[in-house]
Structure 1
Amino acid sequence: MKIYFANGLFSEADRMYNAYIVDKIRKMDSKIEVYLPQENGDINDKTKFADSIKIAEEDNKELLSSDLVVAVLDGEIIDIGVASEIGLAFGKEIPVVGLYTDLRQHGASNPEKLDAVGVIGENPFQYVNTYTIGLIKLNGTVVNNIDALLDQIKHYL
């Protein structure tokens, strides 16, 4: 099984988080192959040059040959590249497991938080683009922690 791992990769924090999760996935089963774009030095060694065509061709080749996409949805907005990868996966009917760990999603039954939603500027919940979430849910799922992500990957094995 081949997994394409989609997340931002430009900050040290993102690269470390990506490597941490991918290491856990790779240790699940020797039959799992994970493509982590940041490991592709031909296009993501930023001391070198790769134009937009080369980046698209390399990542598309890997995504389109994958059986599953894992997409990290965290951040103020979903990373633009990740959203594009989700769209391509949807169009090619490749399942996506979205990982959304933002702590602001918790407390959905708290009456004070629910009341605050109706007050301008006081929404205590993080917004995630519902179209992109819908694309994932039409051919996959969204989970809110790494353990649940690993369980979902087992489902696809």
Structure 2
Amino acid sequence: MNIYFAAPLFAASDLQYNAALVEKIRQRYPEVTIYLPQENAAINDKSAYADSKMIALADTEKVLTSDLMIACLDGLTIDAGVASEIGVAYAKGIPVIGLYTDSRQQGADNQQKLAALQTVAENQFHYVNLYTVGLIKLNGDIYASEAALLEGLAAFLREDN
């Protein structure tokens, strides 16, 4: 099985997190092949040169040859490249499982946090683009932790066999 790992990759913290999570997945599921775009130096070595068409063609080819996409949704907004990759996957019927770990999701049953929604500029929760979320949920699922993501991946791999 080929998995495309869609995630932001421009900050050192992004690169480290992506590599660590992909390594966990590779160790737990050695039978899968994971494409992590940051490992493709031909287009992602930022000291070298790759134009927009080279990047789009290389990553789109990998999305289209994938059986599943894992997409990291964390950040101020969903990374624009990740959102584009999700759109390509959706258009081609490739399932997507998302990881959205933002801690502001917690407390959905806290009455003070819910009441604050009625006050301008007091939203205690994080907003994530609902169009992109909808594309994922139409052909996949979203998990709030790495542990839940790994369980969801296990279920997907069982269903695939």
**Same fold per TM (> 0.5)?**
yes
Structure 1 letter corresponding to 2:17: Y
Report the Cα offset of residue 29 of structure 1.
2.0
> What is the rounded CA distance, in whole Å, between the counterparts of 1:47 and 1:118 in structure 2?
48
1:1-157 to structure 2, matched below 5 A, reads: 1-157=1-157
CA distance in 2, matches of 1:18, 1:88: 21
Q: Percent identity?
A: 54
**Gaps (5+ residues) in structure 1?**
none
Q: Partners in 2 of 1:130 and 1:45 — Cα distance?
A: 32
TM-score w.r.t. the length of structure 1 is 0.98
Task: Measure the CA separation in 1 of the matches of 2:81 and 2:136.
Answer: 15
TM-score with structure 2 length normalisation?
Answer: 0.96
4+ long deviations beyond 6 Å: none
Equivalent position amino acid for 2:49 in 1: F
Task: Output the CA distance in 2 between the equivalents of 1:28 and 1:156.
Answer: 14
Between Structure 1 and Structure 2, how many residues are aligned?
Answer: 157
**Once the 2 structures are TM-superposed, how far is the Cα of residue 154 of structure 1 from its aligned partner?**
1.0
Q: Distance in 2 between matches of 1:95 and 1:80?
A: 19
Counterpart-to-counterpart distance in 2, 1:153 and 1:77: 24
SS in 2 for 1:84: helix
- Distance between the aligned counterparts of 2:103 and 2:156, measured in 1? 26
How far off is 1:5 after superposition?
0.4
Q: Which whole-Å CA distance do the structure 2 matches of 1:44 and 1:126 have between them? A: 30
